[in-house]
Amino acid sequence: MNAPASTAEKKIIPIVASPDKGPIAPPPGADEETIALYEAHQKIYPRSVSGYFSKWRWALVFLTQLVFYGLPWLEWGQRQAVLFDLGARRFYIFNLVLYPQDFVYLTGILVISALSLFLFTAVAGRLWCGYACPQTVYTEIFLWLEKLAEGDRSARMRRDAGPWNVDKVWRKTAKQLMWIAVGLWTGFTFVGYFTPIHSLAGAVMAMSMGPWETFWVLFYGFATYGNAGYMREQVCKYMCPYARFQSAMFDKDTLIVTYDELRGEPRGGRSKKADLSTLKLGACIDCSLCVQVCPTGIDIRKGLQYECIGCGACADVCDTVMDKMGYARGLVKYSTQNAVNQRWSGADILRHVLRPRVLVYSSVLLAVVLAMLVSLWMRAPFKVDVERDRSTLARIVSGGRLENVYRLQIMNARETPQTFEVSAEGLPGLTLSTDSSMEVGPTESRWIAIRVQLPYEGAAPGSHPIHFTVKSAPDAAVVTEKSVFIVPR
């Protein structure tokens, strides 16, 4: 590890996107200082921003929250359309009834989510972080409420620095009330996915919520309030693991929010009418707006940093400045490292989208999605478990027939009663001595004792594999389960 490499063949690995700056050489010892290992929290006052990417973010805020807040209110037949009934261990998703045995579908959803994240990140960086992550979405909502009550960045900073007066108190109170209201509503909605939301609303009105419901409404509400109101960028910087491994998914053709250093530098203030060529200045007027709007408080002009959540706020605000100055847009923009270094056009970037890693992610993702859909499509609307009787190995009944006893658990995954036809195969002369037809109620799981008989000496002593075929009468779906028939000596 510590083997000193000769300085001549020192290979430089840039950690920033800028092409010619390279890594900063370690300065001589004289430049050193001592600092504490802990850092006091610096409050960030993000300036509100409007523009192309901001519109996209708000569109996604509306879309995701319309789904989140709206879905539990949707009715489907006699019940809530999406309900995770943990008590009864049934998950209802529209016309789908999932049993605990269907948890493999959750695995599928998680795999799809992870692969989508890899794919989107490889193509366009932290799209999830910047636009759809709940932390971003709720922070956006809370920031909007904050602006409503306290005004934009400069007003908030001035008021926070000033003394407590009537104006400050009522504005802060108004903000808190709005934050708490949104937090509680979010907590209430969250619990509404697990307890029917109409009856939950009734229980809230009557102040008769159960202890667990009360706890989760308050806990989830508090988590929303704390994370979106106070923790904000701290969650992204210190708690979220994603920032730490995003570099594994980035390459030089990944879209990132980046500052065009070649065009921007040297930066400096100037009059709008000034002539750039005589001033020997780049396009950056050093207005610092890109820093002011950044929700994680970084300076994008320093290159790609792990704190950057790729929200594009700096790109939006820089475009408005460029418009005002009469310069071309795109000093801060979504671009790739290769595109910036090699002055590529948009078409060049597009040409480099289909890289091996993107193709691999896409094909694996497609395969998993297809497998999920096919398996959901072909899923039998019931499940069967066969258990041999716990004690009776075999018995001889009148007529000298051998009898084995099994318990069949039939789980109806439909919301209508189903009639099932059971048969046993695998040995010559195998018959059911119990009624072969049975009804199981809607979403009910029923154990049924089944007796199977074989003529005496119909098979050699020992255990013989047999299988049960259970057929659903309405749609002829079939489930086959293995078991054994025991012939005593």
Partner 1 sequence: MSDFTSNFWSVYVTAVTVIGIAACLFLLWFSGKAKAMTAHDNTTGHVWDGDLREMNNPLPRWWVGLFVITIIFSAIYLAFYPGLGASAGKLGWTSTGQFQAEIAKGEADIAPIYARFDAMSAEDIAKDPQAHAIGERLFMNNCSQCHGSDARGSKGFPNLTDADWLHGGSPEKIMETLNQGRVGQMPPMAAAVGSGDDVKNLANYVLSLSGSPHDSVRANLGKSKFAACAACHGSNGKGNPALGAPNLTDDIWLHGYGESAIINIVTNGKVNQMPAQAQKLSPAQIKVLSSYVWGFSNTGAVK
What's the min distance (Å) between Cβ of 231 and partner 1?
A: 9
What residues numbered 186-245 form the site for partner 1, per CB under 8 A?
Answer: 234, 238
Letter string b/e over residues 182-203, b meaning 16 or more CB atoms within 10 A of that residue's CB: bbbebbbbbbbbbbbbeebeeb
Do 470 and 422 touch, CB atoms closer than 8 A? Answer: yes
What's the min distance (Å) between Cβ of 396 and partner 1?
A: 7
What residues numbered 344-403 form the site for partner 1, per CB under 8 A?
Answer: 389-396, 398, 403
Do 348 and 339 touch, CB atoms closer than 8 A? Answer: yes
1 is a contact residue toward partner 1 (CB under 8 A):
yes
Q: Helix 211-226 and helix 166-191: axis angle, to 10°?
A: 130
Strand ranges, E, within 75-173: 75-76, 79-80, 82-85, 90-93, 96-98
What's the min distance (Å) between Cβ of 389 and partner 1?
A: 5
278 is a contact residue toward partner 1 (CB under 8 A):
no
For partner 1, which residue of 449, 462, 478, 482 counts as binding (CB under 8 A)? 449
Number of residues that bind partner 1 (CB under 8 A): 45
Residue 136's identity, in one-letter code, is T
| Of 262 and 486, CB closest to partner 1 | 486
Q: What does the per-residue mask of binding to partner 1 show for 450-489, with x meaning CB under 8 A? A: -x--------------------------------------
| Of 357 and 446, CB closest to partner 1 | 446
What's the min distance (Å) between Cβ of 16 and partner 1?
A: 11
Residue 215, SS3 per DSSP: helix
* Dist. CA 175–CA 173, nearest whole Å: 5
* Dist. CA 269–CA 289, nearest whole Å: 13
| Of 42 and 271, CB closest to partner 1 | 42
3 is a contact residue toward partner 1 (CB under 8 A):
yes
What residues numbered 26-55 form the site for partner 1, per CB under 8 A?
Answer: 26-27, 29, 31-41
What's the min distance (Å) between Cβ of 452 and partner 1?
A: 11
What residues numbered 405-444 form the site for partner 1, per CB under 8 A?
Answer: 405, 407, 434
Tokens 């999932």, located at residue: 98
Letter string b/e over residues 401-431, b meaning 16 or more CB atoms within 10 A of that residue's CB: bbebbbebebbbbbbeebebebebebbeebe
Residue 83, SS3 per DSSP: strand
Interacting residues toward partner 1 by CB under 8 A: 1-5, 7, 10-13, 23-24, 26-27, 29, 31-41, 234, 238, 389-396, 398, 403, 405, 407, 434, 447-449, 451
